[in-house]
Amino acid sequence: MARSKSSPRWLQEHFADPFVKKAQAEGMRSRAAYKLEELIERDRLLKPGMVVVDLGAAPGGWSQVVRRDLGDKGRVIALDILDMPPIAGVEFIHGDFREDGPLSQLESLLGGKPVDLVLSDMAPNMTGVDTVDQARAMYLSELARDFAEGHLKVGGNFLIKLFQGEGFDAYVKDLRTRYDKLVIRKPAASRRRSNEVYALALGKRRGSTK
């Protein structure tokens, strides 16, 4: 069973984590920011003027990194079921990605224009029951994949956090049919014991299947 985030052992490990300390020192909202930093640098994901959608954005670490690296050019739209304090230059939608309302808001902000990069660091609230948590995580992953399918431009990229387990292999296999290239990454800031990895799908194909 997963450890509670209020357990003394978890808290001790969390505050001793070098990426937590680095985030606090550098004013980043989460240690997850350094996962994205590594992937952006390694795979050259950002270019000036891009439109980027950040799904599951709270507390905002990924949006911070993207907004900073894009500078004054480009657009960042973030969405999360949790509230997120404002970040200058980031448009935020507070709502549940599984519901039609927030998705409609997001589509309205896009105004029919295609997206260059979709990011998803979404994860369900963990129960500690592996089969339940994995099923919930895969459901969110499928929603993110379908959003990217409908809104990414041809040639656009999709980066998503996945949890290895039931449904993982089939999901990755499906992504390979939709994009020119797919790689699996495990950033240094991702805890070794975690079964999370990041799937980076590059070059959305024209007319890829849903």
Cα gap 140→147, rounded to integer Å: 11
Is 169 annotated to bind a ligand? Reply is: no
pLDDT (0 to 100) of residue 89: 95
pLDDT digits (tens, 9 = 90+) for 104-148: 999 999 999 999 999 999 988 888 899 999 999 999 999 999 999
- Dig out the tokens for 199 from the structure: 């799937």
Catalytic residues: 161
Residue 164 CA to residue 172 CA, distance in Å, equals 10
State yes or no: 121 annotated in a binding site. Answer: yes
The reply, when asked if residue 62 is annotated as ligand binding, is yes
3-state SS, residue 82:
coil
Residue 73 has pLDDT above 70, yes or no: yes
Is 180 annotated in a binding site? The answer is no
Which runs of E-coded beta strand occur in the chain?
51-55, 75-80, 90-94, 115-120, 152-163, 179-185, 196-204
What is the pTM (predicted TM-score) of this model? 0.87
Read off the pLDDT of residues 169-201 as tens digits, 9 standing for 90 and up. Answer: 999 999 999 999 999 999 988 877 789 999 999
- Strands 115-120 and 51-55 turn out to be parallel
Pick the CATH number of 31-204 from 3.40.50.410, 3.60.130.10, 3.40.50.150, 3.40.109.10: 3.40.50.150
Q: Where are the domains of the chain?
A: 31-204
Q: Which pLDDT value is given to residue 209? A: 43
Of the pLDDT bands very low, low, confident and very high (cuts 50, 70, 90), residue 22 is confident
What radius of gyration, in Å, describes the C-alpha atoms of the chain?
Answer: 17
